[in-house]
Amino acid sequence: MIPPWVEYLSPGQYESGDYSGLIGAEYSWADAMYSSECWYLDLLDCGWSPQQARSVLPNSLKTEIVVTANFREWRHIFKLRCSKAAHPQMREIMIPLLEEMKRLRSVFFNDITY
């Protein structure tokens, strides 16, 4: 997953290992992500399980989660994760979710701002 603060030139550019036109931090990040994936695949080819090989993967790895909570807990989650102090990628996920919850159950969530 490409963090929102990393600018890329075209979709799929990082995944292909093509860093042409990138300089500085963007180049370093792209190279690190591509190298990590290559090492991961190499470890799988050497017989390591995916759980073992995953140890070389960075924090930029795509993650899927499932969350269940009651309305009180959702309010708490939105207040923490939609605030300006929250991580930018968390806000990128939680703000649209908050907007959808406001549409579905406005009485519970309309007072939460971000």
Q: Which residues are catalytic?
A: 81
Domain span holding position 105: 71-109
pLDDT in tens, 19-41: 777 778 888 888 888 889 899 99
Q: Are residues 41 and 16 in the same domain?
A: yes
3-state secondary structure the chain: CCCCCCCCCCCCCCCCCCCCCCCHHHHHHHHHHHHHHHHHHHHHHCCCCHHHHHHHCCCCCCCCCCCCCCHHHHHHHHHHHCCCCCCHHHHHHHHHHHHHHHHHCHHHHCCCCC
Same domain, 57 and 78: no
Count up the domains in the chain and report the number. 2
User: Are residues 1 and 42 located together in one domain of the fold?
Assistant: yes
54 & 19 share domain: yes
The whole-model pTM stands at: 0.56
Indicate whether 48 and 90 sit together in one domain.
no
Q: Are residues 40 and 82 in the same domain?
A: no
Does 114 fall in a domain? no
Q: Is residue 66 part of a domain?
A: no
Domain boundary among 41, 61, 81: 61
pLDDT, tens digit, 9 for 90 and up, residues 61-93:
777 778 899 999 999 999 999 999 998 888 999
